[in-house]
């Protein structure tokens, strides 16, 4: 299917190869969308080169999308900055003529430590990227979509941690719970413009970030190895496996399609039945 032919999608935090953002862009590229690859591009506080999509990685992701037949461009963005998000939205319109789908995917999930050891700067870093970044991104996208006059879709990549608490992840869990509230409030305000706002809540997905979480929680929970931890994760899941990037990407594609034109304000679990509320 080419459901998104002539439409333009922006995915923040999509500059890492084998990351969730890349998986989302690949799905939309295969369905005809013009793709904007965006990431921080350079290290910042609490974000080293291994935590963000560098300029070279963003170019590699864009190159792979072009090999799939899509039109793709690279636009660095610091989602903690409202002007930076506004420049990203403007670049999408300038490059491809419209902004139709915006996915708030950028996030920090690698700061894992007990509550009493979590510093103020770590809290602020996670909230700044995960929640404030979604706020600034939504504002920038909505303004561009309203100006374009043909509606749009805004999708927030939340998490199972938007529905349930997890130890040693107070900033992350708080930010993802907040993202659901942001989704619901913005859906009410933006519906009049033909813009839907939804969240996708995947369970664990073993991307590069997910691998770091596997290492940490396998030790925290007393498993002999990461493999034993993953085996336990499979046993707990009704579908018998953790999530894949393609699962989240498929949910995003549905929410951005005409089939979901009357769906807004939802926080959709994509967890193989692991999360049901």
- pLDDT, position 204: 86
3-class secondary-structure state, position 101? strand
Please give the positions annotated as active site.
172
Amino acid 167: pLDDT: 94
Distance CA 116, CA 123 (A): 12
Task: Give Cβ neighbours of residue 226 (< 8 Å, ≥ 6 apart).
Answer: 214, 215, 218
Fold assignment, 8-205+244-265:
Rossmann fold (3.40.50)
pLDDT in the model for residue 213:
84
Mean per-residue pLDDT, 24-44: 96
The structure's pTM equals 0.96
Going from the C-alpha of 52 to that of each of 2, 44, 74, 76, 209, the distances in angstroms are 30, 9, 14, 11, 10
Which of 55-59, 198-202, 233-237 bottoms out in mean pLDDT, i.e. has the lowest? 233-237
Of the two residues 58 and 220, the one the predictor is more confident about is 58
């Amino acid at each position: 299917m080419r459901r998104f032919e002539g439409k333009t999608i922006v995915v923040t935090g999509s500059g890492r190869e084998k990351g969730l953002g890349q998986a989302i862009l690949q799905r939309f590229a295969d369905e005809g969308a013009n793709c904007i690859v965006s990431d921080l591009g350079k290290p910042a506080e609490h974000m080293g080169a291994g935590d963000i999509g560098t300029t070279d990685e963003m170019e590699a992701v864009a190159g792979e999308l072009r090999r799939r037949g899509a039109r793709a461009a690279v636009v660095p963005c610091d989602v903690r900055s409202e002007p930076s998000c506004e420049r990203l939205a403007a670049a999408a319109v300038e490059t491809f003529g419209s902004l139709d789908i915006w996915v708030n995917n950028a996030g920090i999930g690698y700061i894992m430590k007990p509550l009493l050891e979590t510093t103020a700067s770590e809290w602020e870093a996670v909230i700044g990227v995960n929640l404030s970044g979604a706020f600034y991104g939504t504002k920038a996208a909505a303004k561009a979509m309203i100006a374009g006059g043909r509606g749009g879709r805004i999708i927030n990549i939340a998490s199972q941690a938007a529905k349930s608490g997890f130890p040693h992840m107070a900033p992350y869990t708080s930010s993802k719970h907040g993202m659901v509230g942001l989704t619901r409030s913005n859906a009410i305000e933006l519906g009049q413009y033909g813009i839907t706002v939804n969240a996708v809540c995947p369970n664990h997905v073993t991307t590069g970030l997910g691998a770091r979480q596997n290492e940490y929680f396998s030790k925290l929970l007393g498993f002999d190895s990461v493999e034993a931890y993953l085996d336990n994760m499979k046993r707990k899941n009704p579908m018998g496996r953790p999530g894949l990037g393609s699962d989240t990407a498929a949910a995003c594609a549905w929410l951005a399609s005409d089939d979901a034109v009357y769906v807004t304000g939802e926080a959709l679990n994509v967890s193989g039945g692991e999360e049901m509320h």
